[in-house]
Amino acid sequence: MTAPLPTDTPEPDTVAIHEPRLWQESGWTARVIKNEDDEGWAVEMVKDGEAEPALVGPWTMGRDKKNPKPLDAPAFLTLVKTASEVLRRHEQQLHAALHKSFELDTPHAGRVTVTLDIVPDEDDPHALLAAHDAAGVRLARVRVGPGFKLTRSSASAWFEGGCVRPAD
């Protein structure tokens, strides 16, 4: 039996709010705000538990050309989808910046994957340089400075040199 998939339904103790300038539901809050850059309006999307908005964008004026168009269910769902995509892309970019890897074909160990995982610790920033065989078994791992640059040639030189810790 498989576990149920997580849903975006609100927590039992969360009350949905559906007001013309404020919608809160499914772990998100949409708030229509005065656009500080011009005379128009903007909408901000904040994920529950986050201090900063995931998305801020222009919002449509109402028919009177002074007040904002009220939020509604279709607009809210579109905003949730867009803000979720923004967060997903940000997470992917962060992951790509902190994790690098190269596959090498070596004469003695066959296909080896060399990875560099940067640990952005404020007190002790460092990175972990590791090698895994084709089955995923770790062959070596050493701690390196956070500025270590992993390239195909540095990965090959490190592995072929016996996986010793490179000089910082």
pLDDT in tens, 10-37: 444 568 999 999 999 999 999 999 987 7
Report CA-CA distances (Å) from 163 to 31, 93, 114, 143, 160: 53, 28, 10, 11, 7
pTM: 0.65
Question: What is the spatial order of strands in the sheet that 28-34 belongs to?
Answer: 17-19, 22-25, 28-34, 41-47, 55-59
Which one is predicted more confidently, 159 or 37? 159
Burial of 57 (0-12, 13-18, 19+ CB in 10 A): middle
Query: Whole-angstrom Cα distance, residue 45 to residue 108?
Result: 53
Q: How confident is the model at residue 38 (pLDDT cuts 50, 70, 90)?
A: confident
Domain residues of the chain, as ranges? Answer: 17-97, 98-160
User: Residue 71 above 70 pLDDT?
Assistant: yes
